[in-house]
Each structure stands twice: as structure tokens, then as C-alpha cells.
A and B are shown apart, each in its own frame.
Chain A
Amino acid sequence: MINYEYLLSLNIFSPLIGTLLIAIILLFANYNKQQNQLENNFARIWPNIIGLIFASIPILITSLLWLKNSIFTEKHLLAKNIFEYYLEVDGISILMLMLSSFICIICLITFWLNKNYSKKHPSLGVMLILALQTCCLGVFSAKDLILFYIFFEASLIPMLFIIGIWGRENRVYASLKLFIYTVFGSIFFLFVIIYLKTIFQSSNPEILAPLIANLSPNWQNILWVCMFIAFAIKVPTIPFHTWLPDAHVQAPTFGSIILAGVLIKMGGYAMIRFLIPMFPESTEFFSHFVCILSVVGIIYGSLLCIAQKDLKKLIAYSSVAHMGYVNLGIFAPCSFGYAGAVFQMISHGFISSALFLSVGIIYDRLHSLEIIKIHSLSTKMPFLAITFMIFTLGSVGLPGTSGFIGEFLVIFNAANRSSYLIYAILGATGVILGAIYMLILYKNIFFKHQENINTIGDDVNYQTNLHTSKKENIILSIFAIMIIYFGLYPKPILEKIQNIKNIKYFNCSQNLDIQKINNKNEVKN
């Protein structure tokens, strides 16, 4: 079963099959315009069932792949000279696949739980989430550059529709900005792809890596910059981050969850997978530059968070700050920086999705996201208060939560080399700033009680029952348990990170090789 030849393709395209089935169902349904819903009962129920089934198939397949600790590949030659359909799933990819399939299911459930969203084009929402899942799974499995580019770009189309249809007041501006900004960056990536394809007749990074070393250093640097722009916009690195606050503030809850949980990780993953193995010398040339940008991102993002008045924008900027750690981990040269970066990506996927889910619950109840207006939620929504505390601690990076391990590995990695020590110090101060804004936020929302005021948020009566429902409790507790579990026992994730091919990363002067640590553990056992 695990050696089934098309398993990886099935993993990627099963949500797309679900989309097509829902489209076929909708073809046979009649639309009643007065009531603004579908007439036939089967057209109201079946899309949801199909959505749930086909969104959970990838998790099952990915769990199968997780159990076997090897690298899976699938290779077909299509369209003769242009295109090789090459999928490869190794340790890092498996982690991202698990993360994306899990977050997509949570996204779907969040879509159904919120009546405001699921009344408006319910089946279109399910189709878009499934299509987005396909694109995310494809991005993390692809090894060929053109295939990666296809999924990378295709993930923007469902995001455009999700933000544009279900978003808030300024949604058109935010969705168009997201789309055009990211496509503008990807154009440079496309330029690099076609240039390399024409000169070397290949778009496989394994084959290209030794061939690129024959180019002149100037050309390598130019190509590196072009590729870096594309991924830096996605990460987002400062100064290419301005699409993120708008996109998050205007997006619906389920849009924010998948944007912060999965789509942002594509940038960091692409850097690890393509940018560094293909251009190692240029990366060394530019590494100080990128480390400066990432440290600026950490500190500037955190400082911006302290000044925010809008709850969702605050968490959006905290995403910018946390992804600065990812960049720092990738580009500070030592062998386990990328392990810290990958772990930070996964833990941030959980933490920020959980934070946006909580913010979505607050918005759903209180209809307002201004921090001034929100108060005394610890008495009104106790379960949310508990779980939000765990998410806050995770975001801060308290040891014991998964947020700590990623940040620690990144900072330790940067501190290992004397010329990068300054980035480690500044990154550590970023942790303190993170604590500042998250704890102040928690205090302002949950612990602040205002007795003379009878309304919370936007005219919600103080006496109204604001408790979270059972389903929401379950999801919040799942997130909380995962954050604490991986904070105390990160071995499953770190184990998978070591399961990669020997790609040439930076050489570390102090030989702190994870392979050697692994060997030591095996010798001890």
C-alpha cells in the first residue's frame, strides 16, 4: 500500500476531485433566487459531506507516509520537452503536508461553524477551500521547478476569492493587493526558471545545482536576487510585507487561518528547498543582508504590534515578527538553523492559526475588533481565556510550548558564529518584545473589567451569554494540546527534519552536525 505508485499524486489531487464532484452536484441543482439558496435538499447537504471526506483523505495518506521513515518520490515524464512531473516527499515535506492537511480541515470546520460565512455561497466556500488544499499539498510535494511554480501561483486564486467574497469592508483592495503583489514577485521567479531551463535544459534543482556553479558569480547573484524577491514577498520579509496586514484584517476567519497557517510557510519552504541548494555561494554572499532584514522584521514587527489598536492587525504583525525567525534560521550559516526554521514554521502554523481562530470567535460574538472596546472576557468566555493563554505563551516562546524550541534553535544557531552573534542578541530582544505585546494584549482583552459599561465590543449586552460552543471548545483544545505536546516532546518533528537527502547547506565551522548528534544518540541507545 505504501509503495503504490500514484500515492503522492492521490494525496495532492484528492481534494480537487472533491471540488469537481461538488461542481457536478451544483450543475443539477436549481437555485431559488427569492430565498437565496438552493432548492434541492441534496444540493445543500452533499457538498458538505463530500468536502469533509475529500479534505480528510490527505491526512490519512500523509499519516501513512509519516509512519514509514523514508523519502518518497514519484516521477512521470509529461509533455516531452517541457515538463517533468516530479514529486518528492522527504522529512521536511511530510511535516508541511501534515500541517497543511490538518489546518485545511480546521479551516473547513471553521467555515461551517460560523453561520455568517456558511449562509453566503456555502458550496462555493467548500470548493475554494478544497482547491486551496490541493495547491498547498502540491507546493510542499513538488520537486520540479515548473510544477512548484504552478502550485505556488495557483494557490492565489482561491485566496483571492475567499478574501473578496467573505471579507470585511475593504476586502476588494486587500484581495487585489495580495494577488498582484505576489504575482509580481513570482514573475521574477518565472524569469529564473525559464532562464535556467533554456541554458541547462532542466528544471530539476538536483541537476541544476552543480551546473549553476559554472555560471559567473555576478549572474548567480542576479538570479539569486530574482528568486529571493519572489519568496521574500511570500514569507513575508520586510520590506515586502505590506500585503499581509491588509490581507489578514480584511479576510474572514477561515481565510486568515489558512493564510497564516499554510500559505506563508510556502516562502520559507521554497527557500530551504530551492533557493539555498541551487545558489549556495550567492546565499553566502547575501547572508548578512538577509539576516539584517529578518532581525529588522522581528524587532520592527514586534514594535508595530505594541502600537496596534486593532486586534487582528496585531496578530498579523506578530506573524511578520515570527517569520523573521524563520528567515534568520535559514540564512545564518550553521547546519541546524534550518531545523529551527522548519520547527518555527510548524509551531507558528499552529499558534497563529489558533490565535486567528480565537480572534474570529471574538469577532463573531462581539462584532468588533477594537481592543479598547473589548473587556472582561475572562468572566464571559472562560474556556477561550484558558486556551488563549496557552496560545499567548506559545507566541511568546515560553519554554514548554512549541514556540520556544524553534526560536531557541534559531538563536542558538546564529550565536554559534561570531559574525552572526549580533543577530542572535537582537533576536533574543525580539523575544522580550513579543512578550510585551502579547501579555499586554491578553491583559487588555481578558483581565480588564469595566464596571460602568454595559456593553462589550459593539453594543453587545453585558448580560448576553458569550460562551464558546462545544465544537469550538474542542478545536481550541486540540490546538492547545498540540502546542504543549510539541513543546515538551519535539522529537517526532525534529526526527523528521533530519530525514533529508544530503543537500549542500552551509558549512559550519564548529561541526555541530545533526547527523553526528543523531549518531551519538544511537550509540548511547
Chain B
Amino acid sequence: MYQYNFFNEICSAYKFLIPEIGLFLSIILGIIALFFTKNKKSNFNIIISLFIVTISLIYSLKLIPNKNFQDILIFNDLYSINYLTYVIKLIILAALLGIHIFSLLMPKEKNFINRFGIAELSVLINFSALGALFAVSSNNFIILYISLELQALSSYILVANKKDDLKSNEAALKYFVLGVLSSGLMLYGVSLIYMNTGSFSFEKIYYLLNNQNNLFSTLTMTGIVMVICALCFKLSAAPFHSWLADVYEGAHNVVVAFFGIIPKIMAAYIIYKLYHYVFTGEYLIYTTKIISIFIVMSLIIGSISAIKQKNFKRFLAYSAVANSGFVLLAILGSIDQASQALIIYFIAYMLGFYGLIGFAMFYWSENYQEHNNYEINSMHGLNKIYPSISIIIAFCLFSIAGIPPFIGFWGKLNILLAGISNLYFSLIIIALLTSVISLIYYLKIIKIMYFANNLYHEQNQHIAHHKNLQYKNIVIFYGITLIIGSFIWLII
């Protein structure tokens, strides 16, 4: 007789839980390793996480389920696994891999307190990613809230890492207050939905909301709006984007790399799931309208605010806001096209974004510059100093801007195909026009790097040519993967 308990469930479905199990194992080993680290140095810890994450990634790549895979529901309908969640977990794991590689190889700051390398921080990143993994697979609002909180609480601490830096403290405080506010908003929205339906499970809510006996209820709509707003906060869609610029500017670069991808994928998938599977039926029109408003605001605010930015990281933040507008546009499409567009767009965005953050990590570290100020103007004449790296930055920028033949174009093409499938013409036109506007600031960086004015040139010549071979090889290897990535995708 089949006895339902925790152990049985895991045994039957363990193949598909490898990402979570692997990550949990790395957290436990990391915490144990904390007792053995000397002077809070943490290379050992990062290596552990790296190792286990790599193994779980490779092992789970072999077990990708079929596209027509049915939903598996385990743990008494609390947890769902299907093809899409699996792929997104793999993307999150791959992003995590990149983050650990960054934290291992980046040049260490002289000021020890500001350094990212204190042992517990890699464990915190793993916790946050674990929260993201749980949230992606959640089938129940309670589990969703718990995993979102797990992800958020770890990230509050991560932002506040640089204790000596005023900007970091400001960013952490702002993010904490706004994040807690959005979590509270989500909880209230969930409670309103519960009031009308009496259940937290996604499937039951869908069934109960579209029951003939249940009429359209404004309170449920309010609850839905609140849940979507809280998730858009995580996605940094406008008008919930104000935390992003400060967090990018204040946090450590590894944390920025974390924030650029993982909360966004998680939130995008959850909004996709809620939009297509839970809040459909009668509520679809209104949900679409709300998301359309967010799309238009994100695109316009994101592309226009980035034009005047002088700080590299704030510039990245506002381009991320515009990109989250695109992500929301993908969600509005039909189910198949939306999922495909999300996956491709996030892979493309991850590659481009990690290139830019990796460059920011090395170029503005204390080994290379006296001032740690991340000013775009200090990139003048980069073509003469580091030609290969400036080409890679140009590739990353063109990829994020969506210019063919780079991989970012395929992402944008898929999103536009998904967005137009329900004939939302005005959204498509706004998206296309804002992508032309966003070209202004992407080209501005390329202009500063390549078409340099001679004045600024001489100021940069004093930068010592450090023979940091690690750095150069990584970036070159990265460039190769980016170029190959734009063509290999066609074969998939």
C-alpha cells in the first residue's frame, strides 16, 4: 500500500528535484565549511558551491523531460514540475554558476570589509537561488510566498554587504523597505483571493474562479492586481523599478550579477503561470490591461531614463527596466510562444548582461583605477588600450539592443512574435520605437570606446597594463561563447 510521506515522494520524483537537492547540499556543506575557514577567507566555500552546482547542472541536463511532459504534482499538490519549470531551473543554475565563477576570479578589494568573499555570502547567494527554484515550481500561494520571502530575505543582506560604503547602506535600506512593502502587498492580495475562493492551490483557484456559480468579483480582482504588482516589483517593471538603480549602484558587482537575472526569471515565470493558468477566463481582459500599462511604462521610462546616465551601473539598471518591459510583452502572447520567447530572451540577456558586469567588475576595481566610480566617461579610448575587450563589450551591447546577427535579436524577435499573436499592435509599435530610442545610449558607449576624442585619451594612458592573464583569458573565452551562441542556437 502506498504510504504518502515525504520520503516516498522524494524517491519517486527525485530525478526532477536534482537542482533543488544539489543546491541544498551545497548550502549545508557551505555552512559546515564555515567552521573551517581561516580569517573569513572563503575560496574554499565558493569552490564547494561551484563544484556541486556544476555537478547538479550537468546531471540534470541529461534528464530534461520531453516537451509534451505532463505536469507532475508532488507533495500533495504543492509542487509542480513540468518541462518549462525544469528549463528555467537550469537557466537559474547556469546563472548561479556564472556568479560563483565571478566571485572566485574577480580581483579582491583592499578594504576587507567591502570585499565580497566573506564566507557566508556565497551561502546566502545559494539560499536566495534556492528560494527562486522553489518559487518557480510552486503550485500554491503559500509555497509561493514562502519561497519568495526566502529569496528576498537573503538578497536584503547581500545588498548591504559593503558596510563601509554609504551607497550600499542607502541601497540596502531602500530595497529592504520597498521589498517588505511588496511582500506585504502580495500577502494581502493572496488573502483577498482566498476570501473569494477558499483555497490557496492554483488549480483549485482556477476552477473556482471560473465556476458558473462564481460571478466576477471586484475584491478578487483587487487581489489579483496586488499579486501582480508584487511580482512586478521583483521583475523591476515600472512603476516598481525605483529600487533597481540604487541597488545596482550600491551593491557589490557579484550581487548585481545575481540581481540582473535570477529574480527576474523567477518573477517572469510566475507571472506567466498566473496569467495563463490561474487568472484566466473572466479576469483575462483586466489582467491584460494592467500588464499592458506596466509594459508601456517600463519601456518608456527605461529607455528614456538611461540616456542621461553617467554611471555605468545605473545605466545597466535602466536598460534592465526596459528589458523587463519586453519580458512582460512576451507573457502576453499565446502559451507556447510565450514560453519559448521567455527562455530564449533570458538566455540571450544573461549572456549580454554577464559580459557587461564582468567588464565592470574588472575595469573599475582598485587594481586598475584610482577611483572606484564606474563612470562611463572613463571608458574613453578603450579600443586602443584593450581592443579585444572593447569588441566583446560592443557585442554584448549590440546583443542587448537587439541588432542582428547577435543572439539578442533572436530573443527580441521571439518576443515580438509572441506579442503580436494576439494582435496587440500598439504595444508592438511602442516596443519597436523604444528599442530604437534605446539604441541612443547603447551607441553612446560604443562611441566613447571607439570614436574617442583625443583629450580623454591621454588621461587614460596612465593606466598600468597589469598582466592579469586570468582576466583577459576569461573575457576572450566569454566573447567566443557569445559569438558562437548567436549561431548555434539556430541549430537547436
Contact A194 B451 (CB under 8 A): no
Report the minimal beta-carbon distance from A134 to chain B, rounded to whole angstroms.
10
With A79-B490, A79-B492 already in contact, the answer to whether A164 and B450 are too (CB < 8 A) is yes
A200: shortest Cβ distance to chain B, in Å? Answer: 12
Identity of the chain A residue whose Cβ is nearest the Cβ of B395 in the assembled complex:
A157
- Which of A171-179, A266-274, A461-469, A496-504 participates in binding chain B? A171-179
* Interface check B416, CB cutoff 8 A: yes
Q: Bound complex: CA of A197 vs CA of B465, how far in Å?
A: 51
B489: interface (CB < 8 Å): yes
- Assess the A149–B387 pair: CB atoms within 8 A: no
Known A172-B451, A180-B440; contact A154-B403, beta-carbon cutoff 8 A: yes
Chief secondary structure at chain A's binding surface: helix
Contact between A191 and B428, CB atoms less than 8 A apart: yes
Known: A165-B450, A198-B417. A157 touches B388 (CB 8 A): no
Contact yes or no, B420 A198, CB < 8 A: yes
Interchain CB contact (< 8 A) of A187 among B433, B447, B491: B433
Which chain B residue shows the least CB distance to A190?
A: B432
A149-B447 contact given A82-B414, A82-B417, A194-B417, CB 8 Å threshold: no
List residues of B (416-461) whose CB comes within 8 Å of A's CBs: 416-417, 420-421, 428-429, 432-433, 435-436, 439-440, 443, 446-447, 450-451, 461
- Asked if B79 is an interface residue, CB under 8 A from chain A, the answer is no
State the CA gap A124–B398 with chains docked (Å): 18
Q: Does A184 count as interface, using CB distance less than 8 angstroms?
A: yes
With an 8 A cutoff between CB atoms, is B105 at the interface?
A: no
B360 at the interface (CB under 8 A from A): no
* Docked complex Cα distance between A180 and B440 (Å): 8
Cross-chain contact of B443 among A151, A180, A194 (Cβ < 8 A): A180
From 1 to 55 in chain A, residues with beta carbon under 8 angstroms from any chain B beta carbon are 26-27, 31, 33
Q: For A154, list chain B residues within 8 Å (CB).
A: 403-405
Name the distance in Å between A161's Cβ and chain B's nearest Cβ.
6
**Does residue A153 face the partner (Cβ distance < 8 Å to B)?**
yes
Q: Please, which residues of chain A bring their CB within 8 A of the CB of B410?
A: 82
Contact B413 A82 (CB under 8 A): yes
**Do residues A171 and B451 form an inter-chain contact, with CB atoms below 8 A?**
yes
Contact A157 B420 (CB under 8 A): no
| Given A150-B405, A157-B403, A164-B450: A187 touches B436 (CB 8 Å cut-off) | yes
- Quick check: is A183 within 8 A (CB to CB) of the other chain? yes
Contacts of B315 in A (CB 8 A): none
**Would you list which residues of chain A between 75 and 120 have a CB under 8 Å from chain B?**
78-79, 82-83, 85
Complex contact B387–A31 (CB within 8 A): yes
**A146 near B: Cβ within 8 Å?**
yes
CB–CB B450/A161 < 8 A: yes
Instruction: Tell me if B409 and A150 are in contact (CB < 8 A).
Output: yes
Within 8 A of A (CB), among B391-421: 398, 403-405, 409-410, 413-414, 416-417, 420-421
Contact B388 A179 (CB under 8 A): no
Q: Does A195 sit at the interface, judged by CB under 8 A?
A: yes
Near A by CB (< 8 A), chain B positions 282-328 give none
A190 to B440, CA, bound (A): 19
Determine whether the beta carbon of B421 is less than 8 Å from that of A198. yes
Asked whether A194 and B447 contact (CB < 8 A) given A27-B476, A82-B413, A183-B436, the answer is no
Report the minimal beta-carbon distance from B52 to chain A, rounded to whole angstroms. Answer: 33
With a CB–CB cut-off of 8 A, which chain B residues contact A78? 490-491
How distant is the Cα of A150 from the Cα of B404 in the complex, in angstroms? Answer: 5
State whether A184 touches B447 (Cβ < 8 A): no
Distance between A158 CB and nearest chain B CB, rounded to angstroms: 11
In A335-366, which residues have CB < 8 Å from any B CB?
Answer: none
* A157 partner residues in chain B, CB cutoff 8 A: 398, 403
Residues from chain B with a CB closer than 8 A to the CB of A121 are 383
Contact present for A83 and B490 (CB under 8 Å): yes
Q: In the complex the two chains form, what is the Cα distance from A410 to B421 in whole Å? A: 42
Give the chain B neighbours of A187 by CB distance below 8 A.
432-433, 435-436
B432 cross-chain contacts in A, Cβ below 8 A: 187, 190-191
Q: How far is the CA of A172 from the CA of B446 in the complex (A)?
A: 10
Query: Which residues of B (361-394) have their CB < 8 Å from a CB of A?
Result: 383-385, 387-388
A197 contacts which chain B residues (CB < 8 A)? 417
> Could you say which residues of chain B place their CB within 8 Å of the CB of A82?
410, 413-414, 417
CA distance A101 to B408 in the complex (A): 29
Report the Cα distance A154→B416, complex, angstroms.
19
B439 to chain A, nearest CB (A): 6
Min CB distance, B379 to chain A, in Å? 15
**B446 → A minimal CB distance (Å):** 8
Cα of A161 to Cα of B391 in the assembled complex, Å: 11
The CA of A247 and the CA of B398, in the complex, are separated in Å by: 21
Q: Which residues of A contact B409 (CB under 8 A)?
A: 150, 153
Chain A nearest CB from B70 CB (Å) reads: 22
B439 touches A149 (CB 8 A): no
- Shortest A230–chain B CB gap in Å is 12
Q: How far is the CA of A194 from the CA of B443 in the complex (A)?
A: 25
Q: Across the interface, which residues of A come within 8 angstroms of B428, CB to CB?
A: 191, 194
Q: How far is the CA of A211 from the CA of B439 in the complex (A)?
A: 34
Q: Determine the distance from Cα of A160 to Cα of B398 in the docked complex, in whole angstroms.
A: 12
Q: Is the CB of B451 within 8 A of A146?
A: no
Per-residue contact bits, chain B 477-492, to A (CB 8 Å; 1 contact, 0 not): 0000000000001111
Distance in Å: Cβ of B112 to nearest Cβ of chain A? 34
Q: Give Cα distance in the complex from A321 to B439, angstroms.
A: 30
Task: Decide if B388 touches A27 in the complex (CB within 8 Å).
Answer: yes
Q: Which residues of chain B from 213 to 257 have a CB within 8 Å of any chain A CB?
A: none
B residues within 8 A CB of A160?
443, 446
On whether the beta carbons of A179 and B439 are closer than 8 Å, the reply is yes
Complex contacts, A179 vs chain B, CB 8 Å: 439, 443
- Contact check: which of A31, A150, A195 meets B420 at CB < 8 Å? A195
Residue in B closest to A179 when the chains form the complex, CB atoms: B443
Q: Which residue of B lies closest to A31 (CB)?
A: B387
Residues of the B chain whose Cβ atoms lie less than 8 Å from the Cβ of A151 = 404-405
Q: 1/0 contact trace for A52-84 toward B, CB 8 Å?
A: 000000000000000000000000001100110
Q: Which of B387, B405, B416, B451 contacts A164 (CB 8 A)?
A: B451
Which of B414, B416, B461 counts the most chain A CB atoms within 10 A? B416
Q: Would you mind naming 10 contact pairs between A and B with Cβ atoms under 8 Å apart?
A: A31-B387, A78-B490, A153-B409, A157-B403, A165-B451, A176-B443, A180-B440, A194-B413, A194-B420, A198-B420
Write the residues of chain A forming the contact surface with B, with a CB cutoff of 8 angstroms: 26-27, 31, 33, 78-79, 82-83, 85, 121, 124, 146, 149-151, 153-154, 156-157, 160-161, 164-165, 171-172, 175-176, 179-180, 183-184, 187, 190-191, 194-195, 197-198
Which 9 A-B residue pairs are closest in the complex by CB-CB distance? A150-B404, A164-B451, A187-B432, A153-B404, A78-B490, A172-B451, A194-B416, A154-B405, A198-B420
18 new A-B contacts at CB < 8 Å, known A176-B443, A187-B436? A27-B388, A33-B461, A78-B491, A83-B490, A153-B403, A153-B404, A154-B403, A154-B404, A160-B443, A160-B446, A172-B451, A180-B443, A187-B432, A187-B435, A194-B413, A194-B416, A194-B420, A194-B428
